[in-house]
Structure 1
C-alpha cells in the first residue's frame, strides 16, 4: 500500500536510485551532448527525476518505475528518461 505523498523519501534505496539516475544522465549528456558538466536540459531532467523519486508514494518499497501502475512522470520527461536509460544502461 502506498505511503502518504506529502512525505519526502530519503531512505537508502531511494538514495541509490537517485545516484544511479544521476550517473545515467551524466553518461548520456557527455556522450550525446558533448558536455563535461550537465547541460541545462539534462540538469532539468535530473532534478525532475530526483523530485519524483523523493515523492514516490511507495517509498522504500518501490519497484522499477517501468513496472509501476502510477507513472508519475509527465509525458515529455518520461520520453526523455527512457531515451537516457536505453542509451546509458549498457554503459553501466
Structure 2
C-alpha cells in the first residue's frame, strides 16, 4: 500500500474513533460544551489517536480489534471497548457514511480471513 493511501487510512480511522468517543461522551457526560469532550473522554481520545498515529501495521490491518499487536494498556483497552460498544451502532444514525465504510471494511476483512 503506498504511503499516501496509508496516511489517508490513518486519518479516516482517527476521525472515526473521535466521532465514536464524541457520541459516548454526549450520551454519558452531559457537561460537554459544543464539540468539547469531558476530561476523561479527551484523555481516552488523545491516547487512542496517539496509538493510531504510531501504528506500525496500518498498511495491513483493518481495525485495532483484529490487529495481532495489542498496543493499548489493559485499562485503556477496556475503556475503548466500552466506548465502541456504545457508539459503534449509533454511528449509523449520526454518521451513516462513516458507519457504512466501516461495515464494508469489516465485511471485506471477514471474507478474506473468515
TM (norm. structure 1) is 0.84
Q: What CA deviation, in whole Å up to 9, does each residue of 1:23-81 have, x standing for no partner? A: 00001001111123201110010010010001111123322211111100001110010
Name the SS for the 1:31 alignment partner. Answer: helix
State the structure with more CA Rg.
Answer: 2
CA distance in structure 2 between the aligned counterparts of 1:53 and 1:62, rounded to whole angstroms: 11
Unaligned runs of 5+ in 2: 1-5, 92-114
- Higher relative helix content: 2
Count residues with an aligned counterpart: 83
Two-structure CA RMSD over aligned residues (Å): 1.2
Unaligned runs of 5+ in 1: 1-9
CA distance in structure 1 between the aligned counterparts of 2:67 and 2:60, rounded to whole angstroms: 12
TM (norm. structure 2) is 0.69
The answer to which structure, 1 or 2, has the higher relative contact order (CA under 8 A, 6+ apart) is 1
